[in-house]
Amino acid sequence: MKFGIVVSEGPYQHQASDSAYNFVKAALAKGHQVSRVFFYHDGVNVGTRLSIPPQDDRQIQEQWTALGKEHDLDLVICIAAAQRRGLLDKNEADRQGKDADNIAEGFRISGLGQLIEMGIQADRTVTFGD
């Protein structure tokens, strides 16, 4: 089965990112495919490289980055939600005249078209968060 995943809650305010991460790991371990993980609303905060959780806390961004690298996952951050929350990749920072970018390795910014495409291509779309 081919899954599309939506994460729409922030990484430390809600369990959605943790649940999505564990679901994706389990699905891949069972031989399923994950076509894309789309981070939306506050879920985009998973993809910032500037978060520094305490050492004894969950390292959510690092976990997603490692999982994405290991399984060649498409980790997409919604551009509109990201801009509202101050998350920018290099191209968007340059385009907006900002002097820094903060998207973590393995994540990319794109639009809602990627969410629609994921929904069309996946057998099931599973949403974590509101």
- Overall average pLDDT of the 74-87 stretch: 97
CB neighbour class for 12 (10 Å; exposed up to 12, middle 13-18, buried from 19): middle
How far, in Å, are 40, 47, 78, 113, 122 from residue 83 at the CA level? 11, 12, 9, 16, 27
Which structural domain range is residue 89 located in?
Answer: 2-128
CATH number at residue 44: 3.40.1260.10
Q: What is the residue-averaged pLDDT of the chain?
A: 96
Percent of the chain exceeding pLDDT 90 equals: 92
Q: Would you call 69 helix, strand, or coil by DSSP?
A: helix
Catalytic site residue from 44, 73, 78, 88: 78
The model's pTM: 0.95
- How many domains does the structure of the chain reveal? 1
Q: Is residue 78 annotated as part of the catalytic site, yes or no?
A: yes
Question: How far is CA 116 from its chain centroid?
Answer: 15
CA atoms of 4 and 124, how far apart (whole Å) = 6
Question: Is the pLDDT score of 118 beyond 90?
Answer: yes
The amino acid occupying position 108 is R
Alpha-carbon distance 122 to 3, whole Å? Answer: 5
